[in-house]
A and B are shown apart, each in its own frame.
Chain A
Amino acid sequence: MSCPIIEFDDLSHSYGDFVALSGLRGSVPPGSIGLVGANGAGKSTLIKVLLGILKPSGGSARVLGLSVTEDTIPMRARVGYMPERGGLPPDQTAADFMIYAAELAGVPHRAAKQRASDVLTLVGLHEERFRHLGDFSTGMLQRALLAQSIVHDPDLVFLDEPLSGLDPEGRDEMLRLIGRLRGFGINALVSSHILTDIESTCDWIVMLDGGRVTRNSSLHEETRSRTVELEVLGQAEQAEATLRDRGATVTRHGLRMEVTVSDADPYDLVLGVLSESEAGIRLLRPSVTTLEDVYLEGDLGGT
């Protein structure tokens, strides 16, 4: 693995009797990483440990090659954080705060002014940047939060539920911005409950369950080769029956069918049947395991 950006070595953390993280092991490669898990599975604890806010009860971790406990300060100079509950001072303008945010990361004053201006433009805050943060809408606040997390050109950002509170347009924009981070040379760890968002932006998954890592691997769609997803126009029951007659296994949920053919090409069969029965296609594609399938099935083997 080329230069992992995060490494765990038997990392554990407990709050008193409650074990939040237990024996985390493994490494995470550069790129966009999704962090998923149930509420209480340890995601926020993990982020706090990786940022050096909490000292782990046991084991160790490295971020960008630096120990989170021994090299906290140099490590933090290279990471950014977009917390879930927006932390912006309402009595400062966005422009002003952004300069401060850059200086807080060690960027000298003049360069900080330039960086602040650049990232505000990048996230789409133009004239609004001269208004006080207290007057910002949710969408604008989220963008400002993202901006402060990258204003110092970090190598890795932690994004905790970056799309919360955003309307559909805002979600689109934020997803697009997050998708661009890779091209900026910024790795991202995105924690979210909305698995479709993770699927569209991330190429690697870390899944936590009860404080343990249940999956730490790349996120590519696993195609089930002999199964296709099908939706027909018109007589679904009739098509289903015919397919079954031809030896296919069919499961149907409403309009959507999953057709498995073990001894022939499923596509040829489907098109043949539809052509004969004068039914039309609404949807035909290989059946894939989505992230949600993986999540709900639980442990599919970690690293």
Chain B
Amino acid sequence: MSSEGTVYDLGYTPYEGPRLGRSGAIRAIFVDSIRRSLGLRRKPWAKVLPWALVGAAIAPAAFFVTFTFMVSGFSVEDAGAFGSPDQFFDYIGTLEMLFVALITPTLLVPDRQHGVLSIYASRPVYSSDYLLARAGAVLLLATLFMLIPHAVLFFGISALNVGGLWAGLKFNADQIPEILITTVAYVVGYGAPAFLVSLYAKRVAIGTGVYVAVMFMTGALADAIPLASGLLAFKVLAPMSLFFHPMTVRDWLFDLEGSGMPLARVDLPQWVAAISIVVVAVVSAGLALKRYRSEI
């Protein structure tokens, strides 16, 4: 048992190289999250759904550019009948929700279900690091999911501009900030509730199912609220229509009326949607930290 004079087993080579510590671990979790969400390095069927959704998101953008071309050729003066970014959010908003519904439980539930958290518990990471890395991947992928189709649309329509690509870009450029911020609203607005549900779901399918059900229910809520209603109950209910909040933020940023939206129906300002999104995000983060405190 002395500390001098140990004979090393020649079948084993100790590791004497660099150790990256916490930052290396966080990076590893982040990369693993990306792979896991997209089904990379997993069984083939794990790739089907996420990539199908990605395809379904990019395809409309490509189609709209094509239709615009067929209608107007290279002489588009504005966004064209199909090209407006604010309308495009309507097309891919639900797809975004489904994408988030798919990848978020996949990132959180299996580690709990199969006891993999015990492995993380012996690695140089805090539970907050784990959660941040996982959440970060959701945010990145969800953002790319929205922005890549938008980029296809944006550059495509600009290329058809009557003055050429460069003129088209300059013409449409003023919409870029709105597109970006609205994307954030969608990503956080759909991502946070998905994260919340994934904290407690026992199976991936349950997580996805419950989340989608809740989102659609809040959507149904909107239709249940009568137009121009002043009842307090509805005024309280409207801010809970999670499904519509990103769309309301979009309306707010693009200066659209959006009179059918729940908040509009109860005559609440559109920025309430943004506040709701932030509140849900903060609550999710807090509950996540609490839930994982003694696990890692």
Contact = CB atoms under 8 A, between A and B. Distances in A.
Interface in A22-79: 29-31, 48, 51, 53-54, 72-74, 76-77, 79
A76 B123 contact: yes
B177 interface: no
Q: Interface centre among A2, A72, A81, A103, by most B CB within 10 Å?
A: A103
Interface stretch (A180-188, A223-231, A249-257, A281-289): A180-188
Nearest to B27: A103
B24 interface: yes
A152 interface: yes
Nearest to A32: B1
A182 B9 CA distance: 9
Contact of B111 (A30, A51, A81, A89): A89
Interface in A114-147: 115, 118, 122, 132
A7 interface: no
A51 B122 CA distance: 6
B114 A87 contact: yes
Interface stretch (B38-46, B156-164, B245-253): B38-46
A234 interface: no
A41 B157 CA distance: 70
A81 B121 contact: yes
A111 interface: yes
Contacts of A77: 19, 21, 123-124
A219 B130 CA distance: 40
Contact of A111 (B2, B17, B119, B122): B17
Contacts of A107: 15, 17, 19-20, 24
Contacts of B111: 89
Nearest to A149: B122
A199 interface: no
A153 B14 contact: yes
A183 B7 contact: yes
Chain B interface, >50% SS class: loop
Nearest to A157: B122
A106 interface: yes
Q: How large is the interface on B (under 10, 10 to 19, 20 to 34, 35 or more residues)?
A: 35 or more
A88 B42 CA distance: 14
B25 A103 contact: yes
A88 B12 contact: no
A108 B24 contact: yes
A148 B119 contact: yes
A122 B9 CA distance: 12
A203 interface: yes
B121 A51 contact: yes
Contact of A100 (B18, B22, B28, B43): B28
A302 interface: no
B97 to A, nearest CB: 24
B37 to A, nearest CB: 12
A90 B19 CA distance: 27
Nearest to A79: B122
Contacts of A51: 121-122
A96 interface: yes
B29 interface: yes
B41 A92 contact: yes
A288 B35 CA distance: 57
B175 interface: no
A106 B19 contact: yes
Given A53-B294, A53-B295, A86-B115, 7 more contacts: A2-B1, A30-B1, A31-B1, A48-B294, A79-B122, A81-B121, A88-B116
Sorted nearest first, the 10 A-B pairs with minimum C-beta distance are A81-B122, A183-B9, A87-B115, A83-B118, A153-B15, A103-B28, A2-B3, A106-B19, A106-B24, A106-B20
19 contacts: A31-B1, A53-B121, A54-B294, A73-B125, A76-B123, A81-B118, A87-B114, A88-B119, A91-B42, A96-B41, A105-B25, A105-B124, A106-B25, A107-B19, A107-B24, A108-B24, A132-B43, A148-B119, A183-B8
Interface of A: 2-3, 29-31, 48, 51, 53-54, 72-74, 76-77, 79-81, 83, 85-92, 96, 100-101, 103-108, 111, 115, 118, 122, 132, 148-149, 152-153, 158, 180, 183-185, 203-204, 218
